[in-house]
Amino acid sequence: MEQKDILNRLWIDYSSQNPSAKKIHSLFGSEGETVENDHIAFRTFNDSRINIGVLSKLFLQCGYEPCGTYFFEEKKLNAVHYENKKTPNSPRVFISELILENFSPSLQKTLRDTLNKVSEKEYNQNELIFSGNIWGKPIFETYQKLREESEYAAWVYVFGFRANHFTVSVNSLKKYDTVEKVNSFLKKNGFVLNSSGGEVKGTPQELLEQSSTLADIVEIEFMDGKHKIPACYYEFAKRYPGPDGQLYSAFIAKSADKIFESTNFYKK
Ligand code: NI
Protein backbone atom coordinates (compact mmCIF):
# COMPACT_ATOMS: atom_id res chain seq x y z
CA MET A 1 0.00 0.00 0.00
CA GLU A 2 1.32 3.45 -0.86
CA GLN A 3 2.03 5.95 1.85
CA LYS A 4 -0.46 8.53 0.59
CA ASP A 5 -3.21 5.91 0.49
CA ILE A 6 -2.43 4.86 4.05
CA LEU A 7 -2.56 8.45 5.26
CA ASN A 8 -5.78 9.22 3.35
CA ARG A 9 -7.51 6.19 4.71
CA LEU A 10 -6.48 7.00 8.27
CA TRP A 11 -7.62 10.61 7.82
CA ILE A 12 -11.03 9.63 6.42
CA ASP A 13 -11.75 7.34 9.37
CA TYR A 14 -10.37 9.78 11.95
CA SER A 15 -12.06 12.91 10.59
CA SER A 16 -15.42 11.26 10.13
CA GLN A 17 -15.40 10.01 13.70
CA ASN A 18 -14.12 13.31 15.06
CA PRO A 19 -16.09 16.17 13.54
CA SER A 20 -14.01 18.82 15.34
CA ALA A 21 -10.88 17.78 13.47
CA LYS A 22 -12.71 18.01 10.17
CA LYS A 23 -14.13 21.44 11.07
CA ILE A 24 -10.75 22.78 12.19
CA HIS A 25 -9.10 21.44 9.05
CA SER A 26 -11.62 23.20 6.83
CA LEU A 27 -11.48 26.39 8.93
CA PHE A 28 -7.76 26.59 8.20
CA GLY A 29 -8.55 25.94 4.54
CA SER A 30 -11.01 28.84 4.46
CA GLU A 31 -8.27 31.06 5.94
CA GLY A 32 -6.09 30.20 2.93
CA GLU A 33 -3.87 27.81 4.88
CA THR A 34 -2.59 24.49 3.57
CA VAL A 35 -2.48 22.02 6.44
CA GLU A 36 0.45 19.62 6.63
CA ASN A 37 0.71 16.89 9.25
CA ASP A 38 3.52 16.96 11.78
CA HIS A 39 2.72 13.49 13.06
CA ILE A 40 0.04 10.84 13.39
CA ALA A 41 -0.22 8.84 16.59
CA PHE A 42 -1.37 5.32 17.46
CA ARG A 43 -1.97 3.57 20.74
CA THR A 44 -1.62 -0.11 21.57
CA PHE A 45 -0.51 -2.60 24.24
CA ASN A 46 2.90 -4.30 24.55
CA ASP A 47 1.34 -7.74 23.91
CA SER A 48 3.49 -9.37 21.19
CA ARG A 49 0.43 -9.78 18.92
CA ILE A 50 -0.23 -6.04 18.66
CA ASN A 51 2.81 -4.19 20.02
CA ILE A 52 4.67 -1.24 18.49
CA GLY A 53 6.58 -3.57 16.17
CA VAL A 54 3.35 -4.98 14.76
CA LEU A 55 1.69 -1.60 14.25
CA SER A 56 4.78 -0.14 12.59
CA LYS A 57 4.99 -2.84 9.88
CA LEU A 58 2.99 -1.02 7.22
CA PHE A 59 5.02 2.16 7.74
CA LEU A 60 8.36 0.33 7.56
CA GLN A 61 7.24 -1.10 4.21
CA CYS A 62 6.86 2.47 2.91
CA GLY A 63 10.35 3.49 3.97
CA TYR A 64 9.76 4.72 7.51
CA GLU A 65 12.50 4.06 10.05
CA PRO A 66 12.61 4.31 13.85
CA CYS A 67 14.12 7.64 14.96
CA GLY A 68 13.50 7.94 18.70
CA THR A 69 12.33 5.93 21.70
CA TYR A 70 10.49 7.23 24.74
CA PHE A 71 9.36 6.04 28.15
CA PHE A 72 6.47 7.50 30.14
CA GLU A 73 6.90 6.40 33.71
CA GLU A 74 3.66 7.68 35.21
CA LYS A 75 1.44 6.46 32.37
CA LYS A 76 3.49 3.24 31.99
CA LEU A 77 4.07 3.55 28.27
CA ASN A 78 6.83 2.97 25.77
CA ALA A 79 6.83 4.83 22.47
CA VAL A 80 8.79 4.97 19.24
CA HIS A 81 8.66 7.66 16.60
CA TYR A 82 9.28 6.89 12.94
CA GLU A 83 10.25 9.12 10.03
CA ASN A 84 10.35 8.60 6.31
CA LYS A 85 13.43 10.47 5.15
CA LYS A 86 13.03 9.26 1.56
CA THR A 87 9.70 10.99 1.00
CA PRO A 88 9.78 14.74 1.70
CA ASN A 89 7.05 16.18 3.99
CA SER A 90 6.08 12.77 5.33
CA PRO A 91 4.40 13.10 8.70
CA ARG A 92 6.20 11.45 11.59
CA VAL A 93 4.48 8.39 13.00
CA PHE A 94 4.32 8.09 16.80
CA ILE A 95 3.34 4.71 18.24
CA SER A 96 3.00 4.09 21.96
CA GLU A 97 2.22 0.88 23.86
CA LEU A 98 0.95 0.29 27.38
CA ILE A 99 3.30 -1.82 29.51
CA LEU A 100 0.73 -4.36 30.68
CA GLU A 101 2.84 -6.09 33.33
CA ASN A 102 3.04 -2.81 35.27
CA PHE A 103 -0.71 -2.93 35.94
CA SER A 104 -2.95 -4.95 38.25
CA PRO A 105 -3.62 -8.63 37.50
CA SER A 106 -7.25 -7.68 36.95
CA LEU A 107 -6.46 -5.11 34.24
CA GLN A 108 -4.06 -7.55 32.58
CA LYS A 109 -6.65 -10.31 32.60
CA THR A 110 -9.37 -8.07 31.17
CA LEU A 111 -7.15 -6.97 28.31
CA ARG A 112 -5.68 -10.43 27.57
CA ASP A 113 -9.20 -11.89 27.53
CA THR A 114 -10.20 -9.15 25.10
CA LEU A 115 -7.19 -9.84 22.87
CA ASN A 116 -7.90 -13.57 22.96
CA LYS A 117 -11.29 -13.00 21.31
CA VAL A 118 -9.55 -12.63 17.96
CA SER A 119 -7.23 -15.06 16.15
CA GLU A 120 -3.52 -14.46 15.51
CA LYS A 121 -4.39 -14.27 11.84
CA GLU A 122 -6.46 -11.12 12.32
CA TYR A 123 -3.59 -9.45 14.14
CA ASN A 124 -1.17 -10.43 11.37
CA GLN A 125 -3.13 -8.84 8.57
CA ASN A 126 -1.50 -5.85 6.93
CA GLU A 127 -4.53 -3.64 7.49
CA LEU A 128 -4.58 -3.92 11.28
CA ILE A 129 -4.00 -0.17 11.78
CA PHE A 130 -7.30 0.60 10.03
CA SER A 131 -9.35 -2.07 11.74
CA GLY A 132 -10.66 -0.14 14.78
CA ASN A 133 -12.17 -2.25 17.53
CA ILE A 134 -11.97 -5.82 16.27
CA TRP A 135 -13.08 -7.37 19.57
CA GLY A 136 -16.79 -6.71 19.31
CA LYS A 137 -19.04 -4.43 21.34
CA PRO A 138 -17.32 -3.25 24.52
CA ILE A 139 -18.88 -3.36 27.99
CA PHE A 140 -19.35 0.02 29.67
CA GLU A 141 -18.69 -1.36 33.13
CA THR A 142 -15.36 -2.79 31.90
CA TYR A 143 -14.50 0.53 30.29
CA GLN A 144 -15.15 2.33 33.59
CA LYS A 145 -13.10 -0.21 35.51
CA LEU A 146 -10.15 0.15 33.13
CA ARG A 147 -10.33 3.94 33.42
CA GLU A 148 -9.66 3.71 37.16
CA GLU A 149 -6.17 2.43 36.34
CA SER A 150 -5.49 3.81 32.89
CA GLU A 151 -7.49 6.14 30.65
CA TYR A 152 -5.20 4.96 27.87
CA ALA A 153 -6.14 1.28 28.37
CA ALA A 154 -9.83 2.19 28.36
CA TRP A 155 -9.43 4.17 25.14
CA VAL A 156 -7.74 1.29 23.29
CA TYR A 157 -10.33 -1.15 24.65
CA VAL A 158 -13.13 0.83 23.00
CA PHE A 159 -11.52 2.32 19.88
CA GLY A 160 -8.85 -0.23 18.96
CA PHE A 161 -6.62 0.36 15.95
CA ARG A 162 -6.97 3.75 14.29
CA ALA A 163 -5.23 7.12 14.41
CA ASN A 164 -5.58 8.46 17.94
CA HIS A 165 -4.72 11.93 16.66
CA PHE A 166 -3.43 13.83 13.70
CA THR A 167 -1.22 16.84 14.31
CA VAL A 168 -1.17 20.04 12.30
CA SER A 169 2.32 21.31 11.56
CA VAL A 170 2.17 24.95 12.70
CA ASN A 171 5.38 25.48 10.69
CA SER A 172 3.33 24.91 7.54
CA LEU A 173 0.82 27.67 8.38
CA LYS A 174 1.34 31.23 7.15
CA LYS A 175 -1.03 33.43 9.15
CA TYR A 176 -1.29 31.23 12.24
CA ASP A 177 2.43 30.75 12.64
CA THR A 178 2.58 30.31 16.42
CA VAL A 179 0.85 27.86 18.75
CA GLU A 180 -0.62 30.85 20.64
CA LYS A 181 -2.22 32.20 17.44
CA VAL A 182 -3.61 28.76 16.61
CA ASN A 183 -5.00 28.42 20.14
CA SER A 184 -6.79 31.76 20.10
CA PHE A 185 -8.17 31.05 16.63
CA LEU A 186 -9.55 27.73 17.92
CA LYS A 187 -11.03 29.25 21.07
CA LYS A 188 -12.62 32.06 19.07
CA ASN A 189 -14.30 29.34 17.02
CA GLY A 190 -15.62 27.57 20.09
CA PHE A 191 -13.19 24.65 20.47
CA VAL A 192 -12.01 23.53 23.90
CA LEU A 193 -8.29 23.04 24.46
CA ASN A 194 -6.54 20.57 26.73
CA SER A 195 -5.20 22.80 29.53
CA SER A 196 -3.42 20.10 31.52
CA GLY A 197 0.07 21.52 32.13
CA GLY A 198 -0.98 24.80 30.42
CA GLU A 199 -2.47 25.28 26.97
CA VAL A 200 0.98 25.33 25.36
CA LYS A 201 3.24 22.40 26.19
CA GLY A 202 6.97 22.97 25.69
CA THR A 203 8.93 26.14 24.92
CA PRO A 204 10.98 27.53 22.01
CA GLN A 205 14.11 26.67 24.09
CA GLU A 206 12.98 23.05 24.13
CA LEU A 207 12.52 23.40 20.33
CA LEU A 208 8.96 22.05 20.34
CA GLU A 209 5.66 23.64 21.34
CA GLN A 210 2.40 21.69 21.26
CA SER A 211 -1.27 22.12 22.04
CA SER A 212 -4.37 20.04 21.46
CA THR A 213 -8.13 20.11 21.58
CA LEU A 214 -9.96 17.98 24.11
CA ALA A 215 -11.20 14.80 22.44
CA ASP A 216 -14.62 14.95 20.81
CA ILE A 217 -17.33 13.27 22.85
CA VAL A 218 -18.99 10.55 20.78
CA GLU A 219 -21.82 8.15 21.47
CA ILE A 220 -20.71 4.53 21.56
CA GLU A 221 -22.93 1.51 21.64
CA PHE A 222 -21.80 -0.71 24.49
CA MET A 223 -23.26 -4.11 25.42
CA ASP A 224 -24.82 -2.32 28.36
CA GLY A 225 -26.33 0.63 26.49
CA LYS A 226 -25.24 3.79 24.69
CA HIS A 227 -22.76 6.08 26.42
CA LYS A 228 -20.98 9.29 25.51
CA ILE A 229 -17.22 9.09 25.88
CA PRO A 230 -14.12 10.97 24.60
CA ALA A 231 -12.79 9.74 21.25
CA CYS A 232 -9.92 11.46 19.43
CA TYR A 233 -8.34 14.89 19.50
CA TYR A 234 -6.48 17.20 17.13
CA GLU A 235 -2.97 18.38 17.96
CA PHE A 236 -0.84 21.35 16.85
CA ALA A 237 2.96 21.41 16.88
CA LYS A 238 5.57 24.01 16.14
CA ARG A 239 9.19 22.99 15.77
CA TYR A 240 12.27 25.22 16.11
CA PRO A 241 15.75 24.78 14.62
CA GLY A 242 18.41 23.37 16.96
CA PRO A 243 22.11 24.37 17.15
CA ASP A 244 22.75 22.49 13.87
CA GLY A 245 20.18 24.67 12.07
CA GLN A 246 17.88 21.70 11.44
CA LEU A 247 14.32 21.70 12.76
CA TYR A 248 14.05 19.63 15.92
CA SER A 249 12.39 16.39 14.90
CA ALA A 250 11.85 14.36 18.06
CA PHE A 251 9.32 14.51 20.89
CA ILE A 252 9.50 15.74 24.48
CA ALA A 253 8.24 13.13 26.92
CA LYS A 254 7.03 15.59 29.54
CA SER A 255 4.91 17.48 26.99
CA ALA A 256 3.58 14.31 25.37
CA ASP A 257 2.66 13.07 28.83
CA LYS A 258 0.19 15.96 29.19
CA ILE A 259 -1.05 15.64 25.60
CA PHE A 260 -2.04 12.02 26.33
CA GLU A 261 -4.59 13.46 28.77
CA SER A 262 -6.59 14.94 25.89
CA THR A 263 -8.64 11.74 25.86
CA ASN A 264 -9.38 11.81 29.60
CA PHE A 265 -13.03 11.29 30.41
CA TYR A 266 -15.07 14.47 30.73
CA LYS A 267 -18.69 15.40 30.42
CA LYS A 268 -19.76 18.04 27.96
NI1 NI B 1 1.00 13.87 19.32
Q: How far does residue 251's CA lie from ligand 1's centre (Å)?
A: 8
Number of other residues whose CB lies within 10 A of the CB of residue 240: 15
Q: How far does residue 233's CA lie from ligand 1's centre (Å)?
A: 9
Task: Give pLDDT tens digits for 26-65.
Answer: 999 999 999 999 999 999 999 999 999 999 999 999 999 9
Q: How far does residue 83's CA lie from ligand 1's centre (Å)?
A: 14
Cα 249 to Cα 65: distance, rounded to the nearest angstrom: 13
Q: Beta strand 92-98 with 217-222: parallel, antiparallel or unpaired?
A: unpaired
Cα 112 to Cα 4: distance, rounded to the nearest angstrom: 33
For residue 15, what are the contacts with CB-CB under 8 A and spacing of at least 6? 21, 22, 25, 166
pLDDT grade, residue 266 (50/70/90)? confident
pLDDT the model gives residue 114: 98
- Can you give the three-state secondary structure of 91-102, one letter per residue? CEEEEEEECHHH
pLDDT grade, residue 136 (50/70/90)? very high
Cα 59 to Cα 82: distance, rounded to the nearest angstrom: 8
Three-state secondary-structure class, residue 226: strand
Task: Give pLDDT tens digits for 140-179.
Answer: 999 999 999 999 999 999 999 999 999 999 999 999 999 9
Q: How far does residue 107's CA lie from ligand 1's centre (Å)?
A: 25
Q: How far does residue 245's CA lie from ligand 1's centre (Å)?
A: 23
pLDDT grade, residue 268 (50/70/90)? low
Tell me the pTM: 0.96
Q: How far does residue 119's CA lie from ligand 1's centre (Å)?
A: 30
* Cβ-contact 176, 216 below 8 angstroms: no
pLDDT the model gives residue 249: 95
Cα 109 to Cα 200: distance, rounded to the nearest angstrom: 37
Three-state secondary-structure class, residue 121: helix
Task: Give pLDDT tens digits for 188-242.
Answer: 999 999 999 899 999 999 999 999 999 999 999 999 999 999 999 999 999 999 9
